[in-house]
Amino acid sequence: MDIRQMEHLRQEANSLFKNQRIDEALDLYKKSFMEGMKFMVPGSWNGPLEEQLSLLAYNICIVYYKRKNFPKSLTFGLESLKRCKNDKVLHKICTIYLRMGMLKEYVEMYEQIVDKSCCREIKVLLNRMKLGSQTIEKYLENRITLEKLYEMSKEISEGRFIPADVLESILEQGESLLLGCENVVYVESKGEVLVFGDTHGQYFDVVGVLNKVFDGERIFIFNGDYVDRGTHSVENFVLLISLKILFPGKVHLTRGNHELMDINKAYGFFDEVKRKYPFSSGSVYQKFQAVFRALPISIIVNEKVFITHGGLPGTPTKIDELQESYRMTDAHTDELLKGFLWSDPEEITGIEESKRRAGVVFGIDIVDQFLQGNGLDLLVRSHQAIENGYKVNHEGKTVTVFSAPDYEGTESSGSYLVLYPSNGREDEVVNVSRLTKYKVGRFGKSKPGETLKLSYD
């Protein structure tokens, strides 16, 4: 295939893209790109071929951007930039960095743009994230550091509370980061992805397990319900949002039903805030709610594993519908959000009314319809206190993970899932759902007063 044929395929793909035939366009772009790569000679320079490959990589970047799969979009954006530097590519990479919370990388890339008049999308996004050209520099200067997080952990272990001004600063940083996220966040990983369920204010247990499993290679997903019932809800969420700020590409959070205001007002979190911050409880509590509202609803790992706190709505749902819904609310009027935050699985067909008075109880046919309709393999959810923190439903297609050991006086371990790529080691595989492999990690109570010390390179 010569450059002329590559361009012919690219134009054909452009036509498909304009007609909303996205999958077909992506296949053609990739086919042309891979054919062109065969002619690349390491260490040599072929100007016309490099330019053509840059165009194709940019086209692929745009397709993934439209799909809101920003990690893959970034991969091809950087590939395009490597071969041909121009403002259009720089601009797109900057928007991706913002959406992924990679603000330091954004600043470095933005400085390379020559014609900044093309940056309208960036301005809109910065406004949405409550950031500006000057405030983003201030954000980076004031951002929580790992050393400060360790100091804060030591003070917590000694029984002291996080100072209100420090707390509010961290929450503001976290809100800005999360406002750049979509309702459904795509995560791409060639290594292990650890998924934790409800932690419900059990800060020291979270510290204990993170000290054992956190490293620079793995990706960590926390699947909602950080507050209520436990005695350290404030510290628990501040720890996790701080890790999100520090490692935006490695740590991801979703929203649980206890991150709804009327729930955390009734089940202990509001009273904890009043007790710990008697002179600023109103301000502190509202800042927490602002961050909770900004939390994404779901995460998709490697385009195959769907992670959400509760479960599925009672009606057939496409990922695009969830992406377009409005999440920045505490209202219970949105049936989609209620389904994803509140629903539970059961060994039935169809749906039944939930005793929770929100969401539904859903059966295997509902899961099959959702997974097949969205090209997914596995549903991972939390929301229910399960003995030893782990349960499988629906012939292995639904997995519940719960990560609060000895929850409310029970003698039960907490669990987390370790998702593997398709080349995961067979002897450690607990279950196989088509291309999806995972094992279960379990952990118990940590000693009170344990301090944070991560093995991070």
Point out the residues that are catalytic: 258
Sheet architecture: strand order including 344-345: 344-345, 360-362, 351-353
Identify whether the C-beta of residue 220 lies closer than 8 Å to the C-beta of residue 187: no
DSSP letters spanning 403-451: --TTGGG----EEEEEEE-TT--GGG-SEEETTEEEEEEEE-PPPTT--
Distances 424 to 228, 379, 435, 439 between C-alpha atoms, Å: 36, 19, 10, 10
Contacts of 158 (CB under 8 A, 6+ apart): 449
Query: 100: closest CA among 230, 248, 313?
Result: 248
Q: From the centroid of its chain, how far is CA 279?
A: 34
d(CA 444, CA 308): 24
CA dihedral of 367, 192, 101, 124, whole degrees rounded to 10: -40
| Residue 314 near residue 360 (C-beta atoms within 8 A) | yes
β-strand pairing of 360-362 with 351-353: antiparallel
Which two tokens mark 158?
């000694």
Q: Longest Cα pair distance anywhere in the chain, in angstroms?
A: 72
Vertex 304 angle, CA 338 and 176, to 5°: 55
Exposed / middle / buried, residue 239 (Cβ in 10 Å: 0-12, 13-18, 19+): buried
As given in the structure block, the two tokens for residue 27 are 């296949």
Count of Cβ atoms closer than 10 Å to residue 41 Cβ: 8
HSE, side-chain direction, 13 A CA sphere, residue 49 = 14
